[in-house]
Structure 1
Amino acid sequence: MGENIDAHQLKENLVQLRCHFTWGLVVEDSEVPDLENRIWEEIEFLDTKYNVGIYNLLAYVKHLQGQDEDALQSLNEAEDLIHREHADLSDIGSLVTWGNYAWLYYHMGRLEEAQTYLDKVEDTCQKFASQFRYSMECPEMDCAEGWALLKCGRQNYVRARACFEKALQVEPENPEFSTGYAITLYRLDSDHNNVISLNPLRQAVRLNPADTYIKVLLALKLQDVNQEDEGEMYIEEALGSTTSLMYILRYAAKFYRRKGCVERALELLQRALRETPSSAFLHHQIGLCYRSQVFQINEATHKQPIGQDKEKLDNMVRLAIFHFKSALEQRPTFDVALLHLAHMYVTAKDYRKAEDTFQKVLLIKPQEQKILQEGHFYYGRFLEFQKKSEADAIRHYLKAIEVKFASPAREKSIRSLEKLALRKLQRDESDLEGLSLLGLVYKLKGEIHKALEYYERALSLAAVSDKAVKHGPQVI
């Protein structure tokens, strides 16, 4: 019977579905294993009402890895969940799952079964008077798409935000839509270097009072805006609960590390790591704790540790390197972990590995502007102070400044350029590059009169130099 189905026509109909196979989810091949690990962690440890979507995403990830039979099993789990927990929305709630079934069977060459699920979608669209034959415009579908995009990484966050915003326009008080929107904005905050997620997180906590996960995200955001006491109240409240405990441990540890309570943070992270030993997030956070201890020792000893301090520092450096590398084994494109690993190699005076790691940071084109900027700035410092190459350092400070993103790394790059320019002019007050760089520094600071003064001196010297070349002795 399947041979009577027109495969070409079937595919034309399938592309009209709204499901994981048609949403254009951007997932690099190297990120798929880590994505699957995070999905399994969420299924096992995150207490949420919204697991239908995660089983659908797992099915899609299994398909990407060529494991279509396992993918079918995940879709069965999703369908069972819909009937058990969302019976009131079983038709609309099943549209994404049926769409994924149809695509999966199509890829497996089981066209008759693909058509069966396509027919289910069509019947539901007719039942709810959709203007489209194989898709529906409704906030539930927008929300499902938003969650899928959110789970697949930073490169999808802007589109995820648009999906949740669209859903909230229809139902502004919907707890699930509010949660997805708040989490997406929390993830985007680091790109925008601001606090766009604070009020949405407060709204999500109001609408989801039992959701401890959203509470700890609010706590971290409150810490960002110097409201740490209120944030700690939410942290302790969440730690007193048993729901989503593995996730609470992670974010509570991040909160305490940033507060300066590194031992407390390590205790929480080690508890979580025993349950999820392959978590890239946990290994990175543990590495950051050991890095903080390295900074503390260096500060206390004015960067000249001896005896037990030196032994402790060397051990902390080794442990930080181990955990940053472990994070990267799980997620090779984890750009910030790569940058932190490069820092630790510099601290360990392993300059060959530091050079290789900095090159990798810049080669993978970090997804966050902030990381790209920091990559150029810290590589510039490495080139200036460890490799003693002023020219190469200047080039990377300039690249950091070219990234139009207001951040401490950009300001530090400007100050580093200023110091290098002044050093050049101390050696030679007619140094053309030094004058030009100082002109740029003053321009970036908004001191236009000083900038013009140095630019004019540079232009005048360049003109004199050009004239000397033109009228100098001719070589015959």
Structure 2
Amino acid sequence: MILDEKLQALQCHFTWNFEIRDKVDAAHILQTLALRIAHTHYQNQPTFLAMQAYLYHLQGQYEDALQSLREAEEILQRDHPDNFPRQATKCFQMALREDEANGEFLGGLAIAAFASWTHSHDSATWNAAREKLGTIIGEQQQNYEAKVYLAQILKRADRQQAEALLEDVVQNSLDPEVLRNAAKFFQQEFPQKAIAILQRAILLNSTYHLLQYDLGVCYKKQLKEAKSGRGEILAAAIEAFKKAVHKDPTSVFAKLALAEMYGENTPHYQEEIYLNVMSEMPSLSKRCQQAVYLHWGDFLFYKQKSLWEAAKTYKAGFAIPDKYLERQQLKTRLEEVAGEFQQSSQTAEAGAIYDFIQENESPRHYKSIGRGSQLKEELSSRCERDGCSEASWRSA
């Protein structure tokens, strides 16, 4: 049976109309999956192994993909000997049916409820996630992943219980990814505590680049608030991001973060990294492309004071239709550039930018008649007042 047929026979929902090539970095997910498979024994490991096989397939690592499938089959035969030869319809129905006696399914359901809350943040999903995570923790005391998620749910409602859960996680978990998520809880308010957690995780797995990346993020946070010792903190941030890039040379966000830190004292290093990443643009995912355009545009805008080049760069990023956080930031930057043009009486250029934003936004996301059109009316009135021709501001 060829690999595609094996993946379909495994009946994992992600193999159906699942396209990630422009969405995520497969190599990055393979790293996190390896940690999940190694440390998360209470979850449905065959699902993780099947996804690992699919990602290996995307990377062209066909032998590794087949090996992951073999391991998934062995676990299924061992843990579910009575229902291993599963049909697609029956498996799909089983996946949808809430079976409270099935610990694996209950754990997955709890994590799915948490994921729903992270997207909606409404009271109904909050209550559902809190209840299901609490239930699974009561049955699986060593489910440290669920404890981290419950702590995040309770961060504002019951800070004391949230920190008690995380203390248990930090003291007892040996999973670097779980510890990384625990560190994120403290990253903004108490970066030093997050640093200590990450350093412990690094001792457990020194090859996982995201631990070094998050460590750099913590030092960056400290740098913004530091009134003394900035040189030492900056050096620590640069070292952490350098290690992240060294351990995963394909990590675009680590490269961008390193460039930003270099920009504090050595902007020519910052520019060199940006130019190198720009040369890799055709092979990057859409989100990574947006991030590169955002950072390179910021360098041009804030460091080199080049409004025209910055506008061109921000436009290139905003024209990518996928709606990530970076796209909203690109829109904000374009509006800032338009404001600069307006202040210097380059009203035609400002109007062209607002028109560009309107043209590249989905109608359901554009909530007014369009700032570009509104601005044109303002500019028309201004031109009538100042005696300039309509052609001068329509030409852009």
Percent identity between the two aligned chains: 19
Contact in 2 for aligned 1:400/1:409 (Cα 8 Å): no
Decide which moves more: 246-255 or 454-463. 454-463
**Per the alignment, in what secondary structure is the counterpart of residue 207 of structure 2?**
coil
Q: TM-score, normalised by structure 1?
A: 0.60
Q: Structure 1: how far apart are the matches of 2:204 and 2:298?
A: 39
Structure-2 separation of matches of 1:11 and 1:57: 13
Counterparts of residues 66-465 of structure 1 (less than 5 Å): 66-67=62-63, 71=66, 78=72, 81-82=75-76, 84=78, 86=79, 89-92=80-83, 94-95=84-85, 135-138=87-90, 140-141=91-92, 167-168=95-96, 170-171=97-98, 173=100, 175-180=103-108, 183=111, 194-195=120-121, 198-199=126-127, 201-209=129-137, 210=140, 211-223=143-155, 228-229=159-160, 231-240=162-171, 242-243=172-173, 245-259=175-189, 261-297=190-226, 300=227, 309=229, 311-326=231-246, 328-329=248-249, 332=250, 334-348=251-265, 349=267, 350-356=269-275, 359=278, 363-366=282-285, 368=287, 375-398=292-315, 409=329, 412-413=332-333, 415-425=335-345, 431-434=347-350, 436-437=352-353, 451=375, 453-457=377-381, 461-463=388-390, 465=392
Letter in 1 for 2:176: M
Compute the displacement of 1:269 (Å). 1.1
Flag the 1:208–1:432 CA change in 2: closer, same or farther, 3 A. same
Range 405-414 or range 385-394, more displaced: 405-414
Matched, 1:17 2:36: no
Aligned mates of 2:51, 2:4 — CA distance in 1: 23
- The Cα offsets for residues 29-87 of structure 1, whole Å up to 9 and x where unpaired, read as x966655544442333234242243455556677753437x955x66654554455x3x
CA contact 2:380–2:390 (8 Å) conserved in 1: no
Residue 187 of structure 2 aligns to a residue whose secondary structure is helix
- The answer to whether the aligner puts 1:43 opposite 2:34 as a matched pair is no
Number of residue pairs aligned between Structure 1 and Structure 2: 368
CA separation of 1:439/1:230 partners in 2, compared to 1, >3 Å: closer, same or farther? Answer: farther
Does the 8 Å contact 2:148/2:169 carry over to 1? yes
Aligned: 1:53 with 2:53: no
Supply the AA of the counterpart residue of 1:424: S
| 1:446/1:295 CA distance change after superposition, 3 Å | farther
CA contact (8 A) 1:324 1:337 kept: yes
Q: Residue type matched to 2:348 in 1?
A: L
Q: Deviations over 1:134-185 (max 9, x none)?
A: x3313x4577xxxxxxxxxxxxxxxxxxxxxxx33x2274653454355457
Question: What is the alpha-carbon distance in structure 1 between the residues aligned to residue 312 and residue 117 of structure 2?
Answer: 29
Unpaired segments ≥5 residues, structure 2: 359-365
Q: Is the 8 A contact 1:376 1:400 kept in 2?
A: yes
Closer/same/farther in 2, CA of residues 418 and 44 from structure 1, 3 Å limit:
same
Q: 1:181–1:200: 8 Å Cα contact kept in structure 2?
A: no
The structure-2 alpha-carbon separation of the partners of 1:228 and 1:422, relative to structure 1 and needing over 3 Å to count, comes to farther
Q: Alpha carbons of 1:295 and 1:12: their partners in 2 closer, same or farther (altered >3 Å)?
A: closer
Q: 1:342 to 1:136 in 2, by over 3 A?
A: same
One-letter code of the match for 2:260?
H
Per-residue CA deviation, residues 349-404 of structure 1 (Å, 9 max, x unaligned), is 22332422552685555455xx6655444332211122221112123444566665
Gap runs ≥5 in structure 1 = 1-6, 96-124, 126-134, 144-166, 302-308, 470-476
Q: 1:421 to 1:11 in 2, by over 3 A?
A: closer
Superposed CA RMSD = 4.7
Q: Once the two structures are superposed, what CA deviation does each residue of 1:248-303 show, in whole Å capped at 9, x if it has no partner?
A: 322221212122x2222122111111221221321221121222222223xx36xx
Distance in 2, matches of 1:463 and 1:444, equals 27
Partner of 2:361: none
Which has the higher mean CA deviation after the structures are superposed, 242-251 or 403-412?
Answer: 403-412
The answer (yes or no) to whether the contact 1:383–1:390 under 8 Å persists in 2 is: yes
Tell me how far apart the structure 2 counterparts of residues 283 and 36 of structure 1 sit (CA, whole Å): 17
Q: Cα gap change, 1:456/1:184 in structure 2, threshold over 3 Å: closer, same or farther? A: farther
Q: Do the aligned partners of 1:384 and 1:393 also contact (CA within 8 Å) in 2?
A: yes
Tell me, in whole angstroms, the C-alpha distance in 2 between the residues paired with 1:440 and 1:409: 15
Displacement, 1:412?
A: 3.8
C-alpha deviations, 1:283-332, integer Å up to 9, x for none?
A: 221121222222223xx36xxxxxxx353144134224313313533xx2
- TM, length-normalised to structure 2: 0.71
